[in-house]
Amino acid sequence: MFTLGCDRAYLYAHPERELTPDEMRRYDEALARRAAGTPAQYITGHQEFWGLDLIVSPAVLIPRPETEHVVEAVLELVSGIELGQKQDQDQRPRTGVSAPHEVRIVDVGTGSGAIALALAHELPAAQIFATDISAEAIEVAGINAARHDLSSHIEFRQTDLLEGLPPAWFDFVISNPPYVGESEEDSVQMEVRKFEPRNAVFAGPTGLEVIARLIPQALIALRPGGWLVLEISGTIADRVQNLLSGWREVTLRKDLQGIARVALARKPAGAESGLADPGDEACRVCAREETGRAPSLHKQARTLLAHLTAPRTECRPSCRDRRNLPIRLMGTTTAFVDC
């Protein structure tokens, strides 16, 4: 079908069809590439995910069926949000985040755009961002969004993880990050380690390097009560749980093979989160670090280079010439200084 550029129904309807010399050449080239280990998806340029036909190239990780568990988990939680909005304001929803706005989602390390596109397809009212450090990956994801008429539903940004995105704004931070350790390289399929983008597969020596950076950034990016949803592997499940110490409702979900595949954690609200209390005149991140008053989760967030300021207070002089972005944090107007 790839060689002829037709579908299966056409082949059944025309059994007498013979290959032309050019078609035979293309067929032989495809066989040779596959025999050398090139994934079939890179040969055809296509992979199905969540019922969507996606363009893929060696610039992006090939979407896997296991990643659909991430989409399923998010949709279940969003259902909880919608339920919560219909309940009385004094009644807490059973799950999810109660939010008087369209659900805000960011897919970190979007690659081909698989997760973001699946969610945009299922949640047309959601505000969805998708980030990737690779310009080539962002280009592929943008092409896929255009092919499925979803470009207006997703904002793509080339950035490292969550850098440059507003704090306390998202209901969901979602990611299928690189989580394979370099020490496990020999156990990874040859066609994966040889042909798929290395920085989308291997995180570093332990496999936790990217996740360890993402978790404190997610703490800042999420609204109180928001959810972090990560694809993981069974080999790092316990260590990921340790990194999520201090988060609420930490859960590991297994895939169809019984392997831990999705980690979910909810950002604590208010003082539990370690974020600044807007009524505290000494709530700046820099002040907390200098005085040693930072709670454990706040210490995790210091690498974000973000300063949360109390109302009508200024950040340290070295930051006064930086961009100020008014936001709503825990119900009180504050300022976020991008340092």
Single pTM value for the model: 0.76
Rg (CA), the chain: 23
Residue 1 and residue 14 in contact, taking contact as beta carbons nearer than 8 Å: no
Tell whether 50 is covered by a domain: no
Q: Write down the pLDDT at residue 8.
A: 85
Residues 144 and 100 in one domain: yes
Q: How far apart are CA 46 and CA 130, in angstroms?
A: 20
Residues 298 and 165 in one domain: no
Least confident of 166-175, 232-241, 279-288: 279-288
Least confident of 115-119, 184-188, 261-265, 301-305: 301-305
Q: Please state, in angstroms and as integers, the Cα–Cα distance from residue 157 to each residue in 164, 168, 202, 245, following that order.
A: 9, 18, 22, 30
Residues 31 and 124 in one domain: no
Q: How far apart are CA 268 and CA 246, in angstroms?
A: 8
**End-to-end CA, the chain:** 53
Residues 149 and 267 in one domain: yes
pLDDT in tens, 59-100: 999 999 999 999 999 999 998 765 555 554 444 444 444 444
Task: Provide the residue type at 80 as one letter.
Answer: G
Residues 141 and 86 in one domain: yes
Residues 179 and 203 in one domain: yes
Tell whether 87 is covered by a domain: yes
Q: Write down the pLDDT at residue 287.
A: 33
Q: Write down the pLDDT at residue 86.
A: 53
Tell whether 156 is covered by a domain: yes
Task: Provide the residue type at 200 as one letter.
Answer: A
Tell whether 53 is covered by a domain: no
Residues 100 and 156 in one domain: yes
Q: Write down the pLDDT at residue 71.
A: 98
Q: Write down the pLDDT at residue 149.
A: 97
Tell whether 60 is covered by a domain: no
Q: Among residues 271, 299, 329, which one ends one of the domains?
A: 271
The total domain count for the chain is 3
Residues 162 and 232 in one domain: yes
CATH of the domain at 183: 3.40.50.150
Residues 251 and 205 in one domain: yes
Residue 272 clears pLDDT 90, i.e. is over it: no
Residues 102 and 235 in one domain: yes
Q: Write down the pLDDT at residue 7.
A: 84
Q: How far apart are CA 73 and CA 107, in angstroms?
A: 14
Residue 325 clears pLDDT 60, i.e. is over it: no
**E strand or H helix at 309, and its extent?**
strand 306-309
Q: Looking at per-residue confidence, does 58 or 95 come out higher?
A: 58
Residues 84 and 211 in one domain: yes
Residue 127 clears pLDDT 60, i.e. is over it: yes
Q: Looking at per-residue confidence, does 83 or 325 come out higher?
A: 83
Tell whether 93 is covered by a domain: yes
**Phi, psi at residue 93, to the nearest 5°?**
-65, 155
Task: Provide the residue type at 192 as one letter.
Answer: V
Q: Write down the pLDDT at residue 296.
A: 41
Question: In which band, very low, low, confident or very high, does the pLDDT at 11 lie, cut at 50, 70 and 90?
Answer: confident
Q: What token pair was written down for 271? A: 């003082």
Range of the domain at 291: 275-338
Least confident of 15-24, 70-79, 245-254, 287-296: 287-296
Q: How far apart are CA 69 and CA 249, in angstroms?
A: 18
Residues 127 and 6 in one domain: no
Q: How far is it between the farthest Cα atoms of the chain?
A: 81
pLDDT in tens, 34-44: 999 999 999 99
- H helices of the chain, in order, are 8-13, 21-35, 40-44, 68-86, 114-122, 135-147, 190-195, 198-201, 209-221, 237-243, 285-291, 296-301
Question: In which band, very low, low, confident or very high, does the pLDDT at 6 lie, cut at 50, 70 and 90?
Answer: confident
For the ranges 55-59, 85-89, 313-317, the maximum mean pLDDT occurs at 55-59
